[in-house]
Each structure stands twice: as structure tokens, then as C-alpha cells.
Structure 1
Amino acid sequence: MPGYPAWLSLTAIRDSQGQLSNDLAILNDFSERKKNGEHARHLASHDVLTDLPNRLLQQACQRARLARCGPCLARGRESVDGAMPAQ
């Protein structure tokens, strides 16, 4: 297999009697399409001028942090890194 993302399409070629005579394999490189998709996802979550994360990405990160650290934040006795707060 190639060292790049590819789509393999196989087709059986039959003669006039319907017997298999050949196989046709077409290998399509879609690394450029994949790269364009990754670039579009980056543009959707970052400011075009500054390349800083936009509000949607920040909200997604915040939701992920809350999902990870929700129990410790709910107890109110531990900080996010697990250390006890100073008294």
C-alpha cells in the first residue's frame, strides 16, 4: 500500500460471455483533499488574522475540562491539579 491516504477501487472486467477476463484497479490519492479538510477545520476554530483560538474552540476546551475535572470542582476542596487549596 502507498504511504499516503488513498482510495482503492477494484472492478472486474468481463468478456462477452460474462467470463472474468481482467481486473481493473484504480488508486486515488486524496492526501490533498485530506489536507484541505484539516485546514478548513483549523479555520473554523481559529481567527483568520491572529490564528488564535476562537470562541467555539475555547468553549469546547472548557467543556472538556469541566467533564474531566467536574468532580474535583464540585467538591470545592481541590484545585484542578489535585492540590489542596491554601487555608
Structure 2
Amino acid sequence: MEQTTTTPLSKKLTNWLVPLAAIIVFGTWFYIAPPGLLGKADAVGYAICHRIDERSFHIFGRQLPLCARCTGEFYAAGFALLFLGIFSPKKSGMPGW
């Protein structure tokens, strides 16, 4: 005898509403953020870094989105994740229960 299971309505709504809400939030931010790729990078950098002019790198007279300290922190975190992803043996999996 076959058993059919139905997905509850809340699960179906969650599967559609969460991605839709994320698209709306990202689209709104993309619309109201400063124009251009560098403007959007500056907006993200401003949200996570103090961006003091004397402590920031400059290229061709333009301040980079992150200060020197934050640049080092994020590069180190990125390299650590890359290193662990490549060289770390897989030690975990799905639970056996």
C-alpha cells in the first residue's frame, strides 16, 4: 500500500516567500545604493568598516572600501576558508539516526 504525504501549507509558503523576500530586499538595496560597482562596494565597506582616511589604502586617489586592518582581516579569513576547504579531510557527515 502506497502512502502519500502532503507538504503542509506553511512549508510550501516558506519555500516561495523566503527567496522572494530575499530578492525584494536585494533589489531594493541595489536600487537605492550609490551608482556603479565602486559605489556599491563603498556602501558595503561603510557598513562593516570605520574607513578612516589615514588608515585606508588609496589607489589613484580613491579610497578603497575597507581600511588596511579590515582588508587584512577579510583576506586572512578568505585564505583560511580556502585552505581548509582544499586541505582539510572531511570529518563530518549526516547523522546516522
TM-score where L is the length of structure 1: 0.34
Higher helix share goes to which structure? 2
Larger Rg: 1
Q: TM-score, normalised by structure 2?
A: 0.32
